């Protein structure tokens, strides 16, 4: 049996409370998170819509990793599941499988609505998740605005759900008084900050093509968010997607706190094998690679030419443009208590080489002097080495990876539909309106990474 260290066990958002000084001990931080509860409600029309179902399921999967006091979902029972994900035959079964309970909305806890129309605020935090076309976001419940209705690109609901859970956590953690009182969203077709996501956007195409061969490097926080997003896409035949899954790690007790497809039943298993099993239940075809990704690799004929990278180390990232991929989308997340909502996305090849972009490993914050760590040392709960190891672990939140995954896979979808590709997208979910977006100067017009058709 694998012996896990304290660093392997610590919930990555509970760690945020330690690092920020909001809690003076792990026990205090855990008690704080045990008090976080949230309610989700889907109306009787939305409950039958596959995109509203996808948004609700994504919100449940994210919320139960953040609101450890419980997630309550109010919905009409017995409605068939219309999302092609392996979580049951009805939406209610899926919601329960993902970790929520079904019941009436409790009073005085944060509430997120799916479907429905503007209405009076029922609680201090009460928002609606809204989406249309390639756009997704949230508005206050009473706000009489939403993106004009057009055909929904299936990642827009996932984006809306990610932003909703981010905003709800901002509210309960008291990090901004604006949480729940503002409209927050963006377009996955045009993520530039000057694109009005609530306005008509006539240039968004209807989704017709999907990636058919992908190499996923890293199967933790980001890698599993990529897989969730791919699982939402409407493949005409699920077997049209072939995934090569690469990682060398096992699932630890802390993995579940950030990684949307992990749970306690998978602890100790190789990430490659547990994620391949999930992907195959979804109907995809998989192969696995259990080697560290570095420059010694060489992509072989017949293997995917496009890759999605979710690594958290510079050594692997530096090799991304050296092993034979034609197109790579890489996402990196902030790791400190102040920047864990930050995400930075690159595509390769780019104007700078991977080695120039990632020159050195991030050294992390110096945190062993925080009260919680000092207390562990003084009480003999951990030695100096253990405290340093624990302090060096990243803070992380599953909604950040989920939002990043929608942006990353949107780069592939835009490439397939002749749209713009971005060399860089840089944003912080705390204030996403101040994001930076840089178009690539590379011409990917003749690149064909492999495609499949959507369900007619």
Q: Are 26 and 374 in contact (CB under 8 A)?
A: no
Instruction: To the nearest 10°, report the CA torsion of 191, 192, 198, 203.
Output: -80
Residue 229 neighbours by CB under 8 Å, 6+ apart: 155, 158, 402, 405, 406, 409
Measured over the CA atoms of residue 414, residue 420, residue 422 and residue 426, the dihedral's sign is negative
**Nearest Cα to 60, choosing from 402, 417, 455?**
402
Q: Are 139 and 130 in contact (CB under 8 A)?
A: yes
**Rg, the chain, Cα only:** 21
Active site residue 309: no
Query: Would you give the distance in Å from CA 61 to the centre of its chain?
Result: 10
CA distances from 151 to 49, 132, 157, 163 (A): 12, 7, 12, 20
For helices 221-232 and 271-282, the axis angle rounded to 10 degrees is: 10
Question: How far apart (Å, rounded) are the C-alpha atoms in residues 91 and 47?
Answer: 8
| Beta strands 451-453 and 209-211, pairing class | antiparallel
Which uninterrupted H or E stretch holds 41?
strand 37-42
Burial class (CB in 10 A: 0-12, 13-18, 19+), 88: middle
| Backbone angles phi and psi of 168, in degrees to 5 | -65, -40
| Backbone angles phi and psi of 289, in degrees to 5 | -135, 115
| Backbone angles phi and psi of 350, in degrees to 5 | -140, -175
Question: How far apart (Å, rounded) are the C-alpha atoms in residues 259 and 397?
Answer: 9
Q: Which of 149, 385, 441, 443 is catalytic?
A: 385
Catalytic residue list: 385
């Amino acid at each position: 049996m694998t012996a896990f260290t304290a660093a392997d066990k610590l919930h990555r958002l509970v760690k945020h409370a330690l690092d920020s000084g909001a809690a003076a001990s792990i026990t205090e931080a855990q008690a704080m998170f045990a008090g976080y509860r949230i309610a989700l409600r889907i109306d009787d029309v939305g409950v039958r819509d596959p995109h509203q179902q996808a948004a609700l399921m994504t919100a449940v999967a994210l919320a139960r990793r953040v609101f450890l006091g419980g997630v309550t979902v109010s919905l009409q029972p017995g409605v068939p599941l219309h999302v092609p994900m392996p979580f049951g035959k009805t939406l209610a079964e899926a919601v329960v499988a993902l970790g929520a309970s079904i019941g009436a909305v409790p009073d005085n806890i944060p509430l997120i609505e799916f479907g429905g129309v503007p209405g009076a605020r029922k609680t201090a935090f009460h928002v609606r998740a809204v989406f249309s076309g390639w756009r997704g976001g949230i508005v206050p419940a009473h706000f009489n605005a939403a993106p004009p209705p057009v055909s929904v690109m299936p990642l827009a609901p996932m984006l809306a759900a990610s932003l909703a859970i981010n905003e709800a956590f901002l509210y309960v953690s008291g990090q901004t008084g604006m949480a729940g009182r503002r409209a927050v969203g963006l377009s996955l077709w045009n993520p530039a900050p000057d694109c009005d996501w609530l306005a008509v956007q006539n240039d968004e195409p209807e989704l017709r093509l999907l990636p058919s061969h992908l190499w996923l490097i890293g199967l933790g926080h980001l890698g599993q968010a990529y897989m969730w997003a791919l699982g939402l896409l409407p493949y005409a035949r699920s077997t049209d997607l072939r995934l090569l899954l690469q990682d060398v790690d096992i699932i630890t007790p802390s993995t579940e706190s950030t990684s949307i497809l992990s749970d306690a039943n998978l602890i100790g298993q190789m990430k490659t094998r547990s994620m391949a099993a999930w992907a195959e239940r979804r109907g995809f075809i998989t192969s696995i690679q259990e080697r560290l990704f570095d420059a010694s690799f060489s992509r072989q004929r017949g293997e995917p030419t496009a890759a999605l990278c979710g690594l958290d180390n510079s050594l692997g990232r530096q090799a991304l443009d050296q092993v034979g991929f034609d197109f790579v989308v890489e996402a990196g997340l902030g790791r400190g208590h102040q920047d864990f909502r930050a995400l930075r996305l690159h595509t390769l090849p780019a104007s700078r080489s991977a080695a120039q972009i990632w020159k050195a490993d991030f050294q992390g914050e110096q945190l062993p002097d925080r009260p919680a760590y000092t207390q562990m040392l003084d009480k003999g709960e951990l030695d100096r080495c253990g405290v340093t190891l624990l302090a060096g672990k990243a803070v992380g939140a599953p909604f950040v990876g989920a939002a990043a995954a929608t942006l990353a896979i949107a780069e592939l979808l835009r490439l397939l539909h002749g749209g713009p590709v971005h060399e860089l997208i840089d944003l912080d979910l705390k204030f996403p309106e101040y994001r930076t977006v840089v178009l690539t100067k590379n011409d990917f017009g003749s690149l064909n990474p492999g495609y499949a058709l959507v369900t007619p």
